[in-house]
Amino acid sequence: MAPTSFSLELNTPVYRGTVSVDTRLFIGGSFVVPVESGEIEVVNPSTTKVIASVYAGTAEDVDLAVAAAKKAYKNSWGLKVPGTERARLLKQVADLLEANVDEFAALEALNVGKPFMMAKNMDLKFAVSTLRYYAGWADKVGGKTIETNETKFSYTRREPYGVVGNIIPWNLPLLLLCNKLAPALAAGNTVVIKPSEVTPLTALKFAEIVSQAGFPPGVVNIVNGYGNTVGDAIAHHHDISLVSFTGSTVVGRKIQEAAAKSNLKVVHLELGGKSPNIIFDDANLEQAVKWSSSGIFFNMGQACIAGSRIFVQAGIYDKFIAEMTKVAQNLGSHTGDPFEETTQHGPQVSQVQFDRVMGHIRSAKTAGATIHVGGYQHGNGGYFIQPTIITDVKPEMKAVKEEIFGPVASLIKFETEEEVIEMANNTTYGLACGVFTENNSRAIRVVHALEAGMAFVNCYGLVDVQVPFGGYKQSGIGREWGQEGIEEYMQVKAVHVNLGLKI
């Protein structure tokens, strides 16, 4: 049996102190061991060493978690608790998360390989903001009255679904947990959460502050486990009314199929991307290079909105690639230990992901592309991959068609606006896009023509919690963040009141 807790003393340039996590499942307001014995080894991707073991749940544990969530929804949450109280509890969680930001950032650095300063100043900051933003929405959800005729009064009312399932990926584990949990709870739902088996530590630590904040038992439940057991059980469960998943399009299809075969639960999917980023001749070259580099190399390329297909107009193509090469090489010199203050680029999250990214690089080279810079493992230990730029690519290459989810950019030369719009839209994905130009009319014209749920003009990846996040085509269904984010977790009831009509 795995130990029931994990504790480690750290003495690093950016964090000195202890990190500790209860490694059990969190069900009904308490940490519990699973029904069946099972555990998952947690690996530090910077060293490839096992740092902890957490308990692994099964479908039976999902049943227990759903039962606890269902009981809480009926007796101590849902419409029984006013929005002001839901808001107070969410704010309390946000305050506790902010008060413990360094420990959470250290756990992300250990478990994800994310540079500590990035985790603290970006992921944790956004997580806290998301909790507070949806706390602000909790008491502001309303319906509307609808004019029909003088003999009838009609109105709508927004109600929670009940028990919802949240399945969290490994690339931004705590932030994406908050992206789902905050609007779900603000709307009055109870939740059963499956963190990624690769990165469970911050989710389990988060359970501690949920308990400290005073949420009623069963409102939040966290079940560690694998996708083919815990994830599958959530997707098929008849007492879960909505499932929200962030991850690959392949798994998204399986979840949608499971929902259809079980109780036709509502499905919210935030899936993959192969986003185009278009640089026109008249763009501010320095800014275009900086934003484009950030757009693909952020989080070691492990981001669904990564601008991985960079289209550069012929007039500045050579200058652009020369300047982006300098950025990639400089980033390579700041690759390493996530606990060093100057580190800007960490490892891929796991051996599986490392092998997958390196496989894409080899495939591109075999298909005739040029590895312009990077393309190799960085150092002799850990899952580090050099920031990589690929040129001489063709539309049919895997590197251009498939999501790599690593620090690999494909640079493509184009001549005309019409040509680049057609090339950019030639994908099954539609999550994000970017356009760099000093011509405002062109910028608006092009982003309107691109088939994507989010568009960035003269920037890339500059998101805000107040603005909806989501994609077109096979990049997903539904939206996170913004007003749309909380509306995903509510259903509309229409009420018709007779004011005297007799038949």
Instruction: In whole angstroms, give the CA distance from residue 87 to residue 186.
Output: 7
472 domain residue, yes or no: no
- 12-31 confidence digits (pLDDT tens): 999 999 999 999 999 999 99
Say whether both 188 and 63 belong to one domain: yes
Closest Cα to residue 406, out of 449, 359, 462, 453? 359
Instruction: In whole angstroms, give the CA distance from residue 428 to residue 451.
Output: 10
Task: Confirm if 410 and 390 have CB atoms less than 8 A apart.
Answer: yes
- pLDDT, residue 299, reads 97
- pLDDT, residue 79, reads 87
200 domain residue, yes or no: yes
- 390-401 confidence digits (pLDDT tens): 999 999 999 999
CATH code where residue 64 lies: 3.40.605.10
Number of domains in the chain: 2
Closest Cα to residue 20, out of 7, 37, 35, 4? 7
Partners of 167 in beta bridges = 194, 245
- 458-483 confidence digits (pLDDT tens): 999 999 999 999 999 999 999 999 99
Domain that holds residue 343: 276-464
**pLDDT (average), residues 406-431:** 98
Say whether both 259 and 353 belong to one domain: no
Task: Confirm if 189 and 244 have CB atoms less than 8 A apart.
Answer: no
Instruction: In whole angstroms, give the CA distance from residue 104 to residue 116.
Output: 9
Say whether both 291 and 194 belong to one domain: no
500 domain residue, yes or no: no
502 domain residue, yes or no: no
What is the radius of gyration, based on Cα positions, of the chain?
24
Partners of 477 in beta bridges = 269
The neighbour count for residue 170, using CB atoms within 10 Å, is 19
Say whether both 81 and 180 belong to one domain: yes
- Give the CA diameter of the chain: 84
166 domain residue, yes or no: yes
Residue with tokens 């486990």: 225
Percentage of residues in the chain with pLDDT exceeding 70?
Answer: 100
Closest Cα to residue 431, out of 476, 399, 482, 484? 476
CATH code where residue 312 lies: 3.40.309.10
Q: Which two tokens stand for residue 303?
A: 């981001």
Say whether both 260 and 305 belong to one domain: no
Instruction: In whole angstroms, give the CA distance from residue 259 to residue 349.
Output: 29
The answer to whether residue 86 scores a pLDDT higher than 80 is: yes
> One-letter amino acid identity for 116?
F
Indicate if 270 belongs to the active site: yes
Would you place residue 215 in the very low, low, confident or very high pLDDT band (cuts 50, 70, 90)? Answer: very high
Task: Please state, rounded to an integer, the average pLDDT across all residues of the chain.
Answer: 97
Would you place residue 349 in the very low, low, confident or very high pLDDT band (cuts 50, 70, 90)? Answer: very high
Instruction: In whole angstroms, give the CA distance from residue 350 to residue 48.
Output: 8
Say whether both 124 and 74 belong to one domain: yes
Active-site position among 270, 403, 487, 488: 270
497 domain residue, yes or no: no
Say whether both 248 and 288 belong to one domain: no
469 domain residue, yes or no: no
Say whether both 378 and 246 belong to one domain: no
Say whether both 191 and 129 belong to one domain: yes
Say whether both 483 and 421 belong to one domain: no
Instruction: In whole angstroms, give the CA distance from residue 460 to residue 297.
Output: 11
Say whether both 24 and 102 belong to one domain: yes
- pLDDT, residue 3, reads 85
Whole-model pTM: value is: 0.96
The answer to whether residue 1 scores a pLDDT higher than 80 is: no
Task: Confirm if 56 and 38 have CB atoms less than 8 A apart.
Answer: yes
Q: Which two tokens stand for residue 494?
A: 């229409």
Say whether both 433 and 296 belong to one domain: yes
302 domain residue, yes or no: yes
Would you place residue 2 in the very low, low, confident or very high pLDDT band (cuts 50, 70, 90)? Answer: confident
**pLDDT (average), residues 37-61:** 97
